[in-house]
Chain A
Amino acid sequence: MVDLAISVGTTQNPEAILFWVLAPLTVAAALGMLLVKKAVHSAILMASVMINLAIFYIAQNALFLGIVQIVVYTGAVMMLFLFILMLVGVDSSDSLTETITGLRPIAIVASVGFGGLLISLIGRATLGRSAVGLSEANMNGNVKGLASLLFSTYVWPFEVVSALLITAALGAMVLAHHQRIQTRPTQREMSTARFRGESLANAAGLPGPGVYARHNAVDVPALLPDGTPAANSINATLKARGDMLTSGSFELGKVDTSAEEEK
Protein backbone atom coordinates (compact mmCIF):
# COMPACT_ATOMS: atom_id res chain seq x y z
CA MET A 1 0.00 0.00 0.00
CA VAL A 2 2.84 2.37 0.85
CA ASP A 3 4.58 1.43 -2.41
CA LEU A 4 1.43 2.24 -4.35
CA ALA A 5 1.15 5.62 -2.68
CA ILE A 6 4.76 6.41 -3.53
CA SER A 7 4.42 5.33 -7.15
CA VAL A 8 1.27 7.37 -7.56
CA GLY A 9 2.63 10.38 -5.70
CA THR A 10 5.93 10.71 -7.52
CA THR A 11 5.95 12.82 -10.67
CA GLN A 12 7.68 10.60 -13.14
CA ASN A 13 7.83 13.21 -15.83
CA PRO A 14 7.00 16.80 -14.93
CA GLU A 15 6.97 17.77 -18.60
CA ALA A 16 4.23 15.25 -19.36
CA ILE A 17 2.02 16.78 -16.67
CA LEU A 18 2.76 20.27 -18.01
CA PHE A 19 1.87 19.11 -21.50
CA TRP A 20 -1.35 17.35 -20.58
CA VAL A 21 -2.53 20.32 -18.55
CA LEU A 22 -1.62 23.02 -21.03
CA ALA A 23 -2.27 21.29 -24.38
CA PRO A 24 -6.06 20.91 -23.85
CA LEU A 25 -6.16 24.53 -22.65
CA THR A 26 -4.33 25.64 -25.79
CA VAL A 27 -6.63 23.69 -28.10
CA ALA A 28 -9.69 24.97 -26.24
CA ALA A 29 -8.48 28.56 -26.53
CA ALA A 30 -7.76 28.11 -30.24
CA LEU A 31 -11.22 26.62 -30.82
CA GLY A 32 -12.75 29.42 -28.78
CA MET A 33 -10.98 31.93 -31.01
CA LEU A 34 -12.77 30.33 -33.92
CA LEU A 35 -16.21 30.21 -32.33
CA VAL A 36 -16.36 33.43 -30.34
CA LYS A 37 -18.31 36.20 -32.00
CA LYS A 38 -16.46 39.34 -30.95
CA ALA A 39 -13.03 40.09 -32.35
CA VAL A 40 -11.73 41.39 -28.99
CA HIS A 41 -12.49 38.05 -27.30
CA SER A 42 -10.71 36.28 -30.14
CA ALA A 43 -7.67 38.48 -29.55
CA ILE A 44 -7.57 37.65 -25.84
CA LEU A 45 -7.89 33.91 -26.54
CA MET A 46 -5.12 34.25 -29.14
CA ALA A 47 -2.88 35.88 -26.53
CA SER A 48 -3.49 32.95 -24.16
CA VAL A 49 -2.61 30.48 -26.94
CA MET A 50 0.64 32.37 -27.52
CA ILE A 51 1.57 32.38 -23.83
CA ASN A 52 0.94 28.61 -23.70
CA LEU A 53 3.16 28.13 -26.76
CA ALA A 54 5.90 30.17 -25.06
CA ILE A 55 5.71 27.81 -22.07
CA PHE A 56 5.99 24.85 -24.46
CA TYR A 57 9.09 26.39 -26.07
CA ILE A 58 10.73 26.89 -22.68
CA ALA A 59 9.79 23.33 -21.68
CA GLN A 60 11.55 22.11 -24.83
CA ASN A 61 14.83 23.88 -23.95
CA ALA A 62 14.21 26.73 -26.37
CA LEU A 63 14.57 29.43 -23.73
CA PHE A 64 15.38 32.31 -26.10
CA LEU A 65 12.45 31.55 -28.41
CA GLY A 66 10.10 31.29 -25.44
CA ILE A 67 11.07 34.76 -24.21
CA VAL A 68 10.93 36.18 -27.75
CA GLN A 69 7.49 34.64 -28.18
CA ILE A 70 6.20 36.47 -25.12
CA VAL A 71 7.92 39.77 -25.95
CA VAL A 72 7.18 39.84 -29.68
CA TYR A 73 3.87 38.03 -29.95
CA THR A 74 1.93 38.62 -26.77
CA GLY A 75 3.64 41.96 -26.30
CA ALA A 76 3.99 43.66 -29.65
CA VAL A 77 1.84 41.77 -32.15
CA MET A 78 -1.22 41.29 -29.94
CA MET A 79 -0.97 44.90 -28.80
CA LEU A 80 -0.99 45.93 -32.46
CA PHE A 81 -4.02 43.72 -33.09
CA LEU A 82 -5.93 45.24 -30.17
CA PHE A 83 -4.88 48.73 -31.23
CA ILE A 84 -6.25 48.18 -34.74
CA LEU A 85 -9.40 46.62 -33.27
CA MET A 86 -9.99 49.77 -31.22
CA LEU A 87 -9.32 51.91 -34.30
CA VAL A 88 -11.66 49.95 -36.55
CA GLY A 89 -14.36 49.70 -33.89
CA VAL A 90 -14.71 47.21 -31.09
CA ASP A 91 -18.32 46.41 -31.80
CA SER A 92 -17.79 45.52 -35.45
CA SER A 93 -18.68 41.95 -34.62
CA ASP A 94 -18.63 39.29 -37.27
CA SER A 95 -21.71 38.70 -39.33
CA LEU A 96 -22.29 35.01 -38.89
CA THR A 97 -24.36 34.65 -42.05
CA GLU A 98 -22.84 32.49 -44.75
CA THR A 99 -22.17 34.44 -47.92
CA ILE A 100 -21.04 31.42 -49.92
CA THR A 101 -23.66 28.72 -49.46
CA GLY A 102 -22.33 25.51 -47.98
CA LEU A 103 -18.93 27.00 -47.18
CA ARG A 104 -19.00 26.12 -43.51
CA PRO A 105 -19.77 22.37 -43.82
CA ILE A 106 -17.24 22.05 -46.65
CA ALA A 107 -14.60 23.85 -44.57
CA ILE A 108 -15.27 21.65 -41.53
CA VAL A 109 -15.18 18.40 -43.54
CA ALA A 110 -12.00 19.46 -45.37
CA SER A 111 -10.30 20.50 -42.13
CA VAL A 112 -11.22 17.25 -40.37
CA GLY A 113 -9.76 15.38 -43.33
CA PHE A 114 -6.64 17.53 -43.41
CA GLY A 115 -6.06 17.33 -39.67
CA GLY A 116 -6.71 13.58 -39.66
CA LEU A 117 -4.24 13.14 -42.49
CA LEU A 118 -1.55 15.17 -40.70
CA ILE A 119 -2.07 13.41 -37.37
CA SER A 120 -2.12 9.92 -38.90
CA LEU A 121 1.03 10.79 -40.87
CA ILE A 122 2.83 11.88 -37.70
CA GLY A 123 1.58 8.70 -36.00
CA ARG A 124 2.91 6.45 -38.75
CA ALA A 125 6.19 8.20 -39.40
CA THR A 126 9.23 6.93 -37.57
CA LEU A 127 12.46 8.81 -37.22
CA GLY A 128 14.42 5.60 -36.70
CA ARG A 129 15.86 6.88 -33.45
CA SER A 130 14.67 8.34 -30.22
CA ALA A 131 14.72 12.05 -29.48
CA VAL A 132 18.25 13.33 -28.95
CA GLY A 133 17.42 16.31 -26.77
CA LEU A 134 19.13 19.66 -26.72
CA SER A 135 21.36 19.25 -23.67
CA GLU A 136 24.43 18.89 -25.87
CA ALA A 137 23.54 21.68 -28.29
CA ASN A 138 22.69 23.99 -25.39
CA MET A 139 25.93 23.25 -23.58
CA ASN A 140 27.13 26.88 -23.71
CA GLY A 141 23.64 28.20 -23.17
CA ASN A 142 20.75 28.43 -25.60
CA VAL A 143 21.34 32.07 -26.54
CA LYS A 144 25.03 31.50 -27.25
CA GLY A 145 24.29 28.47 -29.41
CA LEU A 146 21.65 30.35 -31.41
CA ALA A 147 23.91 33.38 -31.80
CA SER A 148 26.82 31.34 -33.11
CA LEU A 149 24.51 29.82 -35.75
CA LEU A 150 22.81 33.11 -36.57
CA PHE A 151 26.02 35.05 -37.12
CA SER A 152 27.87 32.36 -39.05
CA THR A 153 25.67 30.04 -41.14
CA TYR A 154 22.62 32.28 -41.25
CA VAL A 155 24.25 35.69 -41.47
CA TRP A 156 22.98 36.36 -45.02
CA PRO A 157 19.33 35.48 -44.24
CA PHE A 158 19.69 37.56 -41.07
CA GLU A 159 20.64 40.65 -43.10
CA VAL A 160 17.92 40.00 -45.69
CA VAL A 161 15.41 39.83 -42.84
CA SER A 162 16.60 43.21 -41.56
CA ALA A 163 15.94 44.66 -45.03
CA LEU A 164 12.49 43.04 -44.93
CA LEU A 165 11.75 44.68 -41.57
CA ILE A 166 12.69 48.13 -42.89
CA THR A 167 10.60 47.56 -46.02
CA ALA A 168 7.61 46.51 -43.90
CA ALA A 169 7.92 49.60 -41.70
CA LEU A 170 8.11 51.86 -44.76
CA GLY A 171 5.20 50.04 -46.39
CA ALA A 172 3.03 50.50 -43.30
CA MET A 173 3.89 54.20 -43.22
CA VAL A 174 3.01 54.62 -46.92
CA LEU A 175 -0.27 52.71 -46.50
CA ALA A 176 -1.29 54.58 -43.37
CA HIS A 177 -0.43 57.98 -44.86
CA HIS A 178 -3.56 60.03 -45.33
CA GLN A 179 -3.58 62.64 -48.07
CA ARG A 180 -5.73 65.70 -47.50
CA ILE A 181 -8.08 66.31 -50.44
CA GLN A 182 -9.08 69.85 -49.46
CA THR A 183 -6.89 72.43 -47.81
CA ARG A 184 -7.56 72.98 -44.15
CA PRO A 185 -9.70 76.14 -43.66
CA THR A 186 -7.82 78.92 -41.95
CA GLN A 187 -9.19 80.81 -38.97
CA ARG A 188 -9.81 83.86 -41.19
CA GLU A 189 -11.87 81.81 -43.68
CA MET A 190 -13.89 80.24 -40.89
CA SER A 191 -14.59 83.65 -39.38
CA THR A 192 -15.64 85.07 -42.76
CA ALA A 193 -17.98 82.15 -43.33
CA ARG A 194 -19.54 82.71 -39.92
CA PHE A 195 -20.23 86.45 -40.12
CA ARG A 196 -20.64 87.11 -43.85
CA GLY A 197 -22.64 83.97 -44.61
CA GLU A 198 -26.31 83.77 -45.38
CA SER A 199 -27.54 84.26 -41.83
CA LEU A 200 -26.11 85.31 -38.53
CA ALA A 201 -27.88 82.50 -36.64
CA ASN A 202 -24.63 80.78 -35.68
CA ALA A 203 -22.54 83.91 -35.30
CA ALA A 204 -22.14 83.31 -31.58
CA GLY A 205 -21.14 79.70 -32.11
CA LEU A 206 -23.14 76.50 -32.34
CA PRO A 207 -25.23 75.51 -29.31
CA GLY A 208 -23.61 73.05 -26.96
CA PRO A 209 -25.24 69.66 -26.45
CA GLY A 210 -27.69 69.22 -23.65
CA VAL A 211 -28.38 72.91 -23.00
CA TYR A 212 -31.82 73.33 -21.41
CA ALA A 213 -32.51 69.65 -21.92
CA ARG A 214 -33.01 67.40 -18.91
CA HIS A 215 -29.62 65.70 -19.47
CA ASN A 216 -26.39 67.40 -20.36
CA ALA A 217 -24.73 64.36 -21.96
CA VAL A 218 -23.00 64.91 -25.31
CA ASP A 219 -25.53 62.76 -27.16
CA VAL A 220 -28.60 64.77 -26.06
CA PRO A 221 -29.48 67.68 -28.36
CA ALA A 222 -29.90 71.13 -26.85
CA LEU A 223 -33.36 72.64 -26.69
CA LEU A 224 -34.22 75.85 -28.50
CA PRO A 225 -36.38 78.48 -26.71
CA ASP A 226 -39.53 77.02 -28.26
CA GLY A 227 -38.72 73.59 -26.85
CA THR A 228 -37.68 71.91 -30.09
CA PRO A 229 -34.32 70.12 -30.23
CA ALA A 230 -31.41 71.83 -31.99
CA ALA A 231 -29.93 69.21 -34.32
CA ASN A 232 -26.67 71.09 -34.87
CA SER A 233 -25.76 70.93 -31.20
CA ILE A 234 -24.64 67.31 -31.61
CA ASN A 235 -21.23 66.36 -32.93
CA ALA A 236 -21.44 65.30 -36.59
CA THR A 237 -19.56 62.07 -35.87
CA LEU A 238 -22.09 61.00 -33.23
CA LYS A 239 -24.90 61.84 -35.65
CA ALA A 240 -23.31 59.81 -38.45
CA ARG A 241 -22.84 56.84 -36.14
CA GLY A 242 -26.47 57.02 -35.04
CA ASP A 243 -25.48 57.47 -31.41
CA MET A 244 -27.80 60.46 -30.95
CA LEU A 245 -30.57 60.20 -28.38
CA THR A 246 -34.02 61.29 -29.44
CA SER A 247 -34.78 64.24 -27.22
CA GLY A 248 -38.50 63.58 -27.08
CA SER A 249 -38.55 62.60 -23.42
CA PHE A 250 -36.31 65.51 -22.44
CA GLU A 251 -38.28 68.29 -24.09
CA LEU A 252 -39.94 71.03 -22.05
CA GLY A 253 -43.64 70.75 -21.38
CA LYS A 254 -43.55 66.99 -21.48
CA VAL A 255 -42.01 66.51 -18.05
CA ASP A 256 -44.18 64.43 -15.82
CA THR A 257 -44.70 66.75 -12.81
CA SER A 258 -47.80 65.08 -11.40
CA ALA A 259 -45.85 63.50 -8.54
CA GLU A 260 -44.45 66.84 -7.44
CA GLU A 261 -47.82 68.54 -7.66
CA GLU A 262 -49.34 66.06 -5.26
CA LYS A 263 -46.99 67.22 -2.53
Chain B
Amino acid sequence: MDAANYLYLSALLFTIGAVGVVVRRNAIVVFMCIELMLNAANLAFVTFSRINGDLNGQVVAFFTMVVAACEVVVGLAIIVTIYRSRRSASVDDASLLKR
Protein backbone atom coordinates (compact mmCIF):
# COMPACT_ATOMS: atom_id res chain seq x y z
CA MET B 1 0.00 0.00 0.00
CA ASP B 2 1.18 3.47 -0.82
CA ALA B 3 2.22 5.39 2.29
CA ALA B 4 0.69 8.53 0.76
CA ASN B 5 -2.74 7.21 1.76
CA TYR B 6 -1.91 8.22 5.32
CA LEU B 7 -1.21 11.73 4.04
CA TYR B 8 -4.66 11.89 2.42
CA LEU B 9 -6.21 10.75 5.70
CA SER B 10 -4.19 13.37 7.56
CA ALA B 11 -5.35 16.15 5.19
CA LEU B 12 -8.96 15.02 5.61
CA LEU B 13 -8.77 14.98 9.41
CA PHE B 14 -7.09 18.40 9.44
CA THR B 15 -9.87 19.85 7.28
CA ILE B 16 -12.59 18.34 9.49
CA GLY B 17 -10.88 19.83 12.55
CA ALA B 18 -10.67 23.25 10.89
CA VAL B 19 -14.39 23.19 10.07
CA GLY B 20 -15.14 22.24 13.66
CA VAL B 21 -13.18 25.20 15.02
CA VAL B 22 -15.17 27.59 12.81
CA VAL B 23 -18.64 26.03 13.10
CA ARG B 24 -18.99 24.76 16.67
CA ARG B 25 -19.87 27.18 19.47
CA ASN B 26 -19.02 25.19 22.61
CA ALA B 27 -15.49 26.17 23.66
CA ILE B 28 -14.65 22.61 24.77
CA VAL B 29 -15.67 21.14 21.40
CA VAL B 30 -13.62 23.85 19.66
CA PHE B 31 -10.67 22.71 21.75
CA MET B 32 -11.22 19.10 20.79
CA CYS B 33 -11.24 20.12 17.12
CA ILE B 34 -7.89 21.88 17.62
CA GLU B 35 -6.60 18.65 19.13
CA LEU B 36 -7.83 16.81 16.04
CA MET B 37 -5.88 19.20 13.82
CA LEU B 38 -2.71 18.68 15.88
CA ASN B 39 -3.19 14.90 15.68
CA ALA B 40 -3.61 15.09 11.91
CA ALA B 41 -0.32 16.99 11.67
CA ASN B 42 1.29 14.31 13.85
CA LEU B 43 0.07 11.60 11.49
CA ALA B 44 1.68 13.47 8.58
CA PHE B 45 4.96 13.74 10.55
CA VAL B 46 4.99 10.02 11.31
CA THR B 47 4.20 9.17 7.68
CA PHE B 48 6.97 11.41 6.36
CA SER B 49 9.33 9.86 8.89
CA ARG B 50 8.48 6.48 7.41
CA ILE B 51 8.80 7.68 3.79
CA ASN B 52 12.22 9.20 4.45
CA GLY B 53 13.44 6.36 6.68
CA ASP B 54 14.42 8.91 9.29
CA LEU B 55 13.33 9.22 12.93
CA ASN B 56 13.45 13.04 13.00
CA GLY B 57 9.77 13.26 12.05
CA GLN B 58 8.80 11.11 15.02
CA VAL B 59 10.78 13.35 17.38
CA VAL B 60 8.92 16.40 16.02
CA ALA B 61 5.60 14.58 16.50
CA PHE B 62 6.67 13.84 20.09
CA PHE B 63 7.32 17.54 20.71
CA THR B 64 3.95 18.40 19.16
CA MET B 65 2.28 16.06 21.66
CA VAL B 66 3.99 17.79 24.58
CA VAL B 67 3.01 21.25 23.34
CA ALA B 68 -0.57 20.04 22.76
CA ALA B 69 -0.73 18.77 26.35
CA CYS B 70 0.41 22.20 27.63
CA GLU B 71 -2.13 23.92 25.42
CA VAL B 72 -4.95 21.73 26.73
CA VAL B 73 -4.02 22.38 30.35
CA VAL B 74 -3.92 26.18 30.00
CA GLY B 75 -6.89 26.34 27.63
CA LEU B 76 -9.14 24.28 29.88
CA ALA B 77 -8.12 26.40 32.87
CA ILE B 78 -9.17 29.50 30.89
CA ILE B 79 -12.50 27.84 30.00
CA VAL B 80 -13.14 27.03 33.66
CA THR B 81 -12.30 30.61 34.67
CA ILE B 82 -14.64 32.06 32.03
CA TYR B 83 -17.36 29.60 33.02
CA ARG B 84 -17.00 30.61 36.66
CA SER B 85 -17.63 34.27 35.90
CA ARG B 86 -20.16 33.93 33.07
CA ARG B 87 -21.87 30.55 33.63
CA SER B 88 -21.41 29.70 29.95
CA ALA B 89 -18.90 27.78 27.85
CA SER B 90 -20.03 29.21 24.53
CA VAL B 91 -17.47 31.14 22.54
CA ASP B 92 -20.16 33.58 21.39
CA ASP B 93 -20.99 34.81 24.89
CA ALA B 94 -17.46 36.09 25.43
CA SER B 95 -17.80 38.83 22.82
CA LEU B 96 -17.63 41.88 25.05
CA LEU B 97 -15.74 43.97 22.51
CA LYS B 98 -18.63 43.82 20.08
CA ARG B 99 -21.06 45.62 22.34
Which A residues lie at the B interface, using CB under 8 A? Answer: 13, 15-16, 19, 23, 26-27, 30-31, 33-34, 39, 42-43, 46, 49-50, 53, 56-57, 60-62, 64-65, 68-69, 72-73, 76-77, 80-81, 84-85, 87-89, 92-95, 99, 103-104, 107-108, 111, 114-115, 118-119, 122-123, 127, 131-134, 136-138, 142, 145-146, 149-150, 153-154, 157, 161, 164-165, 167-169, 171-172, 175-176, 178
Are B19 and A43 in contact, with the CB atoms below 8 A?
A: no
In the complex, the 8 A-B pairs of residues with the closest C-beta atoms, listed nearest first: A132-B53, A115-B15, A168-B70, A16-B1, A175-B77, A118-B11, A172-B77, A107-B22
Which B33-64 residues have C-beta < 8 A from chain A? Answer: 33, 35-36, 39, 42-43, 46-47, 49-56, 58-59, 61-63
The size class of the interface chain B forms with chain A is 35 or more
Are A30 and B52 in contact, with the CB atoms below 8 A?
A: no
- Report the minimal beta-carbon distance from A150 to chain B, rounded to whole angstroms: 6
Interchain CA distance A56-B69 in the complex, whole Å: 20
Are A176 and B77 in contact, with the CB atoms below 8 A?
A: yes
Contacting residues, chain B, for A42 (C-beta < 8 A): 29, 32
Are A115 and B11 in contact, with the CB atoms below 8 A?
A: yes
- Is residue B96 within 8 Å, beta carbon to beta carbon, of the partner chain? no
Are B77 and A65 in contact, with the CB atoms below 8 A?
A: no
- Report the minimal beta-carbon distance from B99 to chain A, rounded to whole angstroms: 13
Mask, B62-99, CB within 8 Å of A = 1, is: 11011111111110111111011000111010000000
Are A172 and B49 in contact, with the CB atoms below 8 A?
A: no
Are A39 and B26 in contact, with the CB atoms below 8 A?
A: yes
Q: Which of B18, B25, B36 has the most CB atoms of chain A within a 10 A radius of its CB?
A: B36
30 residue pairs from A and B, CB less than 8 Å apart: A19-B5, A34-B19, A34-B20, A34-B24, A68-B62, A68-B65, A73-B65, A77-B35, A80-B72, A84-B76, A84-B79, A84-B80, A85-B28, A95-B92, A108-B19, A111-B15, A115-B15, A118-B15, A119-B12, A122-B11, A133-B50, A134-B49, A138-B55, A146-B55, A149-B59, A153-B56, A169-B73, A172-B76, A175-B78, A175-B81
Q: Can you add 17 more A-B contacts, CB < 8 Å, to A43-B28, A115-B11, A176-B81?
A: A19-B1, A42-B29, A49-B39, A56-B46, A57-B43, A60-B49, A81-B28, A111-B16, A111-B19, A114-B15, A114-B18, A115-B12, A122-B11, A123-B8, A132-B54, A133-B50, A136-B53
